[in-house]
Amino acid sequence: MKAGYSDVLIGLQFGDEGKAKVIDIIGKNYDIIARFNGGSNAGHTIATSQGKIALHQIPAGIFYPKTLLYIGSGCVINFEKLVTEIESVDNFGIKLGGRLFISSQASVIQPHHLLIDEIIGKAIGTTKNGIGPAYADKALRSTEKGIVNIRFGDLADNEEFFLKQIKKNLKDTVAEYNLKNIDVPLAMENFKKAYIKIKPYIQKDSLFLTRLVESGKKVLFEGAQSFMLDVTKGAVPYVTSSNTAAGAAYVGGDLSPHFHRKTIGVGKAIMSRVGNGPFVSEFGGEKSEAYCIEGGGNKYGKEAEQKLSVEELLQSDDLFEIGRALRMLGDEYGASTGRPRRVGMLDLVQLRYAVRSNGVDLLWLNKCDLLSDFSRTKLKGIPFVSQYIEEEKSIDYVPSSNVRQRRIKREIEYEKNFPEKIRKLRNFKDLPKNLLHLLARVESDTGCELLGIGVGSKRDEYILKK
Binding segment toward ligand IMP, per CB under 6 A, in 128-136, 262-270, 346-354, 454-462: 128-136
Burial class (CB within 10 angstroms; exposed 0-12, middle 13-18, buried 19+) of 142: exposed
Say whether residue 134 binds ligand IMP (CB under 6 A): no
Among 6, 13, 37, 41, which residue sits at the site for ligand IMP (rule: CB under 6 A)?
Answer: 41
Over the window 367 to 386, marking each residue x when it contacts ligand IMP by CB under 6 A and - when it does not, the resulting string is --------------------
Q: Is 169 in the site for ligand IMP (CB under 6 A)?
A: no
Q: Which of 105, 169, 225, 417 forms a contact with ligand IMP (CB under 6 A)?
A: 225
Closest approach, Cβ 117 to ligand IMP, in A, equals 7
Q: What does the H/E/C string look like for the chain?
A: CCCCEEEEEEECCCCCCCHHHHHHHHHHHCCEEEECCECCCCCEEEEECCEEEEECCCCCCCCCCCCEEEECCCEEECHHHHHHHHHHHHHCCCCCCCCEEEECCCEECCHHHHHHHHHHHHHCCCCCCCHHHHHHHHHHCEECCEECCCEHHHHHHCHHHHHHHHHHHHHHHHHHCCCCCCCHHHHHHHHHHHHHHHHHHEECCCCHHHHHHHCCCEEEEECCCCHHHCCCCCCCCCCCCCCCCHHHHHHHCCCCHHHEEEEEEEEECEEEECCCCCCCCECCHHHHHHHHHHHHHCCCCHHHHCCCCHHHHHCCCCHHHHHHHHHHHCCCECCCCCCECEEEEEEHHHHHHHHHHHCCCEEEEECHHHHHHHHHCCCCCEEEEEEEEECCEEECCCCCCHHHHHHCEEEEEEECCCCCCCCCCCCHHHCCHHHHHHHHHHHHHHCCEEEEEECCCECCCEEECC
Active site residues: 16, 44
Judged by CB under 6 A, the residue of 6, 57, 127, 288 near ligand IMP is 127
Query: Shortest distance, CB of residue 429 to ligand IMP, whole angstroms?
Result: 33
Q: Identify which of residues 4 and 132 has a Cβ nearer to ligand IMP in the complex.
A: 132
Confirm or reject binding of residue 76 to ligand IMP (CB under 6 A).
no
Q: How far is the CB of 8 from ligand IMP (least distance, A)?
A: 17
> Which residue of the chain is nearest ligand IMP when measured via CB?
275
Q: How far is the CB of 155 from ligand IMP (least distance, A)?
A: 23
Residue 229 contacts ligand IMP per CB under 6 A: yes
Which of 74, 111, 132, 284 contacts ligand IMP by CB under 6 A? 132
Query: By CB under 6 A, which span of 126-134, 260-268, 317-325, 425-433 interacts with ligand IMP?
Result: 126-134
| Contact string (CB under 6 A) for ligand IMP, positions 238-277, x = contact | --xx--------------------------------xx--
Pick 37 or 67: Cβ nearer ligand IMP: 37
Q: How far apart are CB 454 and ligand IMP at their closest, in Å?
A: 16
Omega of the bond prior to 237 within 30 degrees of 0, cis? Answer: yes
**In the stretch 392-431, what mask flags binding to ligand IMP with x, by CB under 6 A?**
----------------------------------------
Query: Which of 239/349 has CB closer to ligand IMP?
Result: 239
C-beta of 127: minimal distance to ligand IMP in Å? Answer: 3
Count of residues of this chain found to bind ligand IMP when the rule CB under 6 A is applied: 19
Using CB under 6 A as the binding rule, whether residue 126 contacts ligand IMP is answered as: yes
Give the binding site for ligand IMP (CB under 6 A): 15-16, 41-43, 124-127, 129, 131-132, 224-225, 229, 240-241, 274-275
